[in-house]
Amino acid sequence: MPIHTIEPVYNSDSRVLILGSFPSVKSREQQFFYGHPQNRFWRVVAGVFDCPVPQNVPEKKALLLGHGIAVWDVIASCTISGSSDASIRDVVPNDISGILEAADICKIYANGAKSYELYQKYIYPQTKREIEKLPSTSPANAVFSYERLLEAWKIIDIGCE
């Protein structure tokens, strides 16, 4: 059973928390979020803030932290076949309370339906914090073009008004 070994990205200036489900095989190999070259997360987030697409982990962290964004995943460990969200079972959730205590998170977003569903089941009962579902940046979400994803993700509000 794979265990989540990637540390969350956040600091005291983080205002928004984006939660995925569980790192893909490629992300686990690279030890950082959204490591599959076909995943559009980095391109979309860079597009939301009209920034260059980050090319390495330090640039990715700088993009997130420079725009008040924290990133982690709902699942600490699970049974999963490859990188398929549909195969996830035996879920042990991450405890996001450390992020919520350290940062003034005013909005939580789910990167896709699976992270939304798992958050509602495992984390919402503890935090009572609402989450907003965004379309998944995964290459498996082929019905969403980059342009559609970017438009949907532009609702990210680090001002949280």
Q: pLDDT of the chain along its 161 residues, tens only?
A: 667 789 999 999 999 999 999 888 888 888 999 998 899 999 999 999 999 999 999 999 999 999 999 999 999 998 888 877 788 889 999 999 999 999 999 999 999 999 999 999 999 999 999 999 999 999 888 899 999 999 999 999 776 76
- Tokens for 97, please give them: 């309370």
**Cβ proximity of 80 and 4 under 8 Å:** no
Domain limits, the chain: 16-153
CATH code for residues 16-153: 3.40.470.10
pLDDT at 25: 85
pLDDT at 15: 96
pLDDT at 32: 95
pLDDT at 39: 93
- Tokens for 143, please give them: 């019905």
pLDDT at 93: 94
pLDDT at 161: 61
pTM for this model (two decimals): 0.94
pLDDT at 1: 65
Which own/partner pairs from 116-121 qualify as long-range (CB within 8 Å, at least 24 positions apart)?
Answer: 118/21, 118/74, 118/75, 118/88, 118/91, 118/93, 119/19, 119/74
